[in-house]
Structure 1
Amino acid sequence: MTEKILCVDDEANVLAGFQRSLRKQFQLETAQGGEAALAMLEKGGAFAVIVSDMRMPGLNGLQLLQRVKQRWPDAVRVMLTGNADQQTAMDAVNEGSIFRFLTKPCPPERLAATLTAALEQHRLITAERELLENTLNGSVRALTDILSLLAPETFGRGQQLREQMRAVAESLKLPEVWALELAAMLHGLGQVTLPAEVATRARLGAALSAAEETMVRRVPEVGSNLLLHIPRLETVARIVLFQSKHFDGTGFPLDPPGGMEIPAGARLLKVLVDLAQLEQRGSSRREALALMRERGGWYDPQLLDAVAAVLGAGALKPTAGIAFKDLKPGQVLVADVITKEGLLILAAGNRITPSLLERLRNFAALSGVREPIYVEA
C-alpha cells in the first residue's frame, strides 16, 4: 500500500499508540501538533489521508484541516476528538469538509475501518481528477487546433495574451493562473462564428452595421457557451463571458456585475485585449496605455497599473529569419507569413503547432510562401 496517512496529535503517547495499532496495516507517519504537520506538508509530504486531533495548543485540528482543504484538497480529512459536542462536529464538517468525525476513545478496529474507507475515497477522488484532466486536456487541444486553423489571427493574439496574462497574474499572485491563461488563449473562440469580412473589419476598427455590431458584441457569450460544455472550465467560461465588461458596470453583458464583482480574470483580460487592439491599430504601448488611462470607468485601475508595470513599454525580442523548411513547432512568428501572391496565411504572434505547420506546408505546396520566415530567436 503506497498511500501515506498522517496522524496529528499534540500528545506523543497517542501518536505512539497509533503506530503500534496501525503500522502493520497502513503506511503511517505522525506529527506532534498542527504546526509540525503543516511543516511536513510544506516539505512535500504527499498524504492521502490526514487524521487530526481537535484540541491542540496553537493550531487546533479544525484550523489545520481548513488549511489542508485549501492547499491540499485531494487529501481526505478525518477528525478525532474527545469533545463530542454537536457544534464542534458541525464546524468540522462545514468548515473543514471532514470525511469522518470520530470521538475518543476510538477502538482500533473502528479507526482502521475508517482509514480504509478514507483511502478508498482518496482513490476515487484521484481517479476522477485524472479522468477530468485527461478530458480537459484533450478538449482544450481540440479547441485550440480548430481555432488555429479557422481563425489563425485570433489564435495568434490569444497566444500572446496568454503569455502576458501569466506574467501579470504571477506578479499579482492571483489564484488559478492556469484558468486565466486558458481564458486569454480562448478569449476569441466565439469569433469562429463570424463571417471572415466582419471579423477583419472589427479587428481593424472599421465601421460596422447594426447587425454586424450585434454579432461582434455576442462573441464573448458564444465563446463562453461553448466552454461551458467542457468539465472544469466554468471559471474560464465566466472570464470569457465578462471580458468586455467595463469596470463601472457598463458594456457587455448589459446586466450586473460591475466593479470588483466582475471576475478578476475578466477585468485583467479586458485590459490586455484592449491594449493589444490599440497596438494592432498602430499605437505604441506607451501611447496605448496613456489612451486607456483616459477612458474613465473602463478598467480596474489597479490592474491597469499592474499591466503597465509588468509589461512596460513592450521591449522587442530578438528575431531570426529562417527558411520555410527550417520552421519547427514551438517557434513564435514575429512577422506575418504570406503567400507569394500576398495572401495572409498566418499572423505574427502565432506559436507554431503541428497542425499550423501542416497548414503552412499545404499553402507552400500550392502557392509558395515568401521567405525568410521571421521568428523569435
Structure 2
Amino acid sequence: MARILMVDDEPRVLDGVRRNLASHYTIETALSGADGIAILEHNRHSTDPFAVIVSDMMMPQMNGAQFLAKAHEITPDAVLMILSGQADLPSTIAAVNESSLFRFIAKPCSPHGLRSSIDDALRQYQLVHAERELLQKTLAGSVDVLAQLLSLGNPDAYSRTTRTSRITDTAARTLRLGHVWELRAAAKLSQIGLVAIPPDVVERVETGANPTPDETTMYATHPQVAHDLLIRIPRMERVARWISLQNSDGDHPAADDEEAQCIDVLAVATKFVAARQNAEEPTATARRLTGTCRHRPDVIQAVLHAATTVATTQGEIRELTVRDLRLGQVFQHDVLATTGTVLVRKGDTVTEAVKIRLTNFATSVGVNEPIRVTDPQ
C-alpha cells in the first residue's frame, strides 16, 4: 500500500485518520512539523518512500506551509497537500500559489473527501513517477550505447570505465548516496573524452613513460571534452559537470553535501583505477590520497572497500569460445586477435557490442581461444 504521512497538532484528528484510512493506505502520523521532518529524514533513503504528505496549516512553531517547504527539500517526489480552515485561508492560498502544493483541502473534511483527495494525489505521484522512470530508462539506455561504442573504439578506455563503474556503484551503496542513476552514468561515461586522444599518448601519460608537456596537457583535457559532448543532452547537465570535475582535488562547487560526495566518489574512484593500472595497491592509493587532505576520508574508505571488493569477487572460471560467451560474463585476461591486437581488456564485461566485435574478428582475422571468463556475481 502507498505510504502517506499526516501531520496535525490535534491527536483526535490523527486518530480519526488512522481509523478511517488505515485499511486503504500505510498511514504514518506526526503531531508537529518538527516530528514530521524527523520521520522524513529517517526515511530519506528508503526504498519505499512517502508518496503523499498531508499537513494541517495552523500549527505552533512551524506552520503547514513551512513544514511542507522543508518536506519538499527532503522528499521532492512526494505530492504535498494542506488542510486549512476558513480563518487561515488567505495565508493558505498564498502558500499554494508560492510553493509546490498539489491541493488545498478545506476543513472540516469528511473521511470520504480526504480519501478522494489522497487518491487524486496518488494518481499524480504515479504519473510523475512513471514519466521520470521512462526518462531515466531512456537516458540509461543512451548511456549504455555510448559506453559500448567506447568499447569498440578504445578497449583500454572502456576497461577503465568498467572498473570505475563497479567501484562507484559499490561505494555509493556503502555511503547510501542519492543521485544513483546520475553517478552511474557519470562513471560509465567518465572516459569517453579519451576517444579524442591517440591511445599511445594515453598510455605514455598514464604509465609515466616520458610524455611530452603537450601530451600531458592534451590528456588533461579529456574530462572537459566529455563535458562538452554531453552537456548538449537534456537532463545530463549534472552528469556532464561531474565528469568535468573527475580530476579535481576536492575543491569544487556543489548544490548540496550529497552532490559534493558524489563528485568526490567519482574523482577518487578514477584515481584508484589509474593507480591500479600502474600496479599501485588500493591500500597504498588510499594512504596517498588521505595524505593530500583533499578528499573526504569517508569517501576514500568507501572507495577502498569497493576497490578491494571488486578485485576479490570472482566466480568459477570458464574457458569458452567466442560463440559461447554470454552477456554479463567478465573476462579474466586480455583477449587478443591472432595478429596480437588487443580486442578486450581483462576485467571487462561481455556486452552486445563486445560480442559483435569479437565475432567479427573471429570470422575475419581470428581470435585467440579459449577465452577465460567468470559468470556475473
Letter in 1 for 2:270: V
CA offset at residue 30 of structure 1?
8.5
Query: Are residues 1:272 and 2:269 paired?
Result: yes
Mapped partners of 2:227, 2:361: distance in 1: 32
CA offset at residue 128 of structure 1?
3.1
CA offset at residue 344 of structure 1?
0.6
Aligned counterpart, 2:205: 202
Mapped partners of 2:170, 2:14: distance in 1: 48
Aligned counterpart, 1:336: 334
Aligned counterpart, 1:347: 345
- Of 188, 192, 211, 1:189 maps to 192
Aligned counterpart, 1:84: 88
Mapped partners of 1:244, 1:142: distance in 2: 24
- Of 357, 360, 370, 1:359 maps to 357
Name the count of aligned residue pairs: 360
Aligned counterpart, 1:253: none
Mapped partners of 1:304, 1:18: distance in 2: 45
Letter in 2 for 1:348: K
Aligned counterpart, 1:289: 286
CA offset at residue 317 of structure 1?
3.1
Instruction: Assess, with a 3 A threshold, how the Cα gap between structure 1 residues 171 and 32 changes in structure 2: closer, same or farther.
Output: closer
Mapping 1:214-293, distance limit 5 Å: 214-247=217-250, 249=251, 257=253, 263-293=260-290
Letter in 1 for 2:332: V
Mapped partners of 1:6, 1:175: distance in 2: 21
Mapping 1:102-141, distance limit 5 Å: 102-105=105-108, 118=121, 121-122=124-125, 124-141=127-144
CA offset at residue 104 of structure 1?
3.0
Mapped partners of 1:113, 1:31: distance in 2: 15
Mapped partners of 2:7, 2:88: distance in 1: 18
Aligned counterpart, 1:307: 303
- Of 320, 339, 344, 1:323 maps to 320
Deviation per CA, 1:352-377, whole angstroms, max 9, x where unpaired?
11111110111111222223322235
Tell whether the 8 Å contact from 2:84 to 2:92 is kept in structure 1 after alignment: no
Mapped partners of 1:198, 1:45: distance in 2: 48
Mapped partners of 2:3, 2:124: distance in 1: 13
What's the C-alpha RMSD, in Å, of the aligned pairs? 4.4
Of 296-305 and 212-221, more deviation after overlay is shown by: 296-305
Mapped partners of 1:104, 1:321: distance in 2: 68
Task: Give the structure-2-normalised TM-score.
Answer: 0.75
Tell whether the 8 Å contact from 1:334 to 1:375 is kept in structure 2 after alignment: yes
Instruction: Assess, with a 3 A threshold, how the Cα gap between structure 1 residues 50 and 264 changes in structure 2: closer, same or farther.
Output: closer
Structure 2 gap ranges (5+) = none
Deviation per CA, 1:182-205, whole angstroms, max 9, x where unpaired?
222211011122233323333333
Deviation per CA, 1:84-136, whole angstroms, max 9, x where unpaired?
16666656776x73123344357999989977875674465245324422431
Deviation per CA, 1:323-358, whole angstroms, max 9, x where unpaired?
223321110112110112221111112111111111
Tell whether the 8 Å contact from 2:286 to 2:304 is kept in structure 1 after alignment: yes
Query: Are residues 1:147 and 2:143 paired?
Result: no
Aligned counterpart, 2:161: 158
SS where residue 369 of structure 2 aligns?
coil
Aligned counterpart, 1:98: 101
Task: Give the structure-1-normalised TM-score.
Answer: 0.75
Instruction: Assess, with a 3 A threshold, how the Cα gap between structure 1 residues 359 and 310 changes in structure 2: closer, same or farther.
Output: closer
Instruction: Assess, with a 3 A threshold, how the Cα gap between structure 1 residues 116 and 88 changes in structure 2: closer, same or farther.
Output: same
Instruction: Assess, with a 3 A threshold, how the Cα gap between structure 1 residues 162 and 93 changes in structure 2: closer, same or farther.
Output: farther
Aligned counterpart, 1:179: 182
Letter in 1 for 2:88: A
Letter in 2 for 1:334: Q
Tell whether the 8 Å contact from 2:5 to 2:28 is kept in structure 1 after alignment: no
Mapped partners of 2:262, 2:17: distance in 1: 49
Mapped partners of 1:307, 1:139: distance in 2: 26
Mapped partners of 2:14, 2:319: distance in 1: 69
Letter in 1 for 2:265: L
CA offset at residue 60 of structure 1?
7.4
CA offset at residue 48 of structure 1?
6.0
Mapped partners of 2:267, 2:6: distance in 1: 47
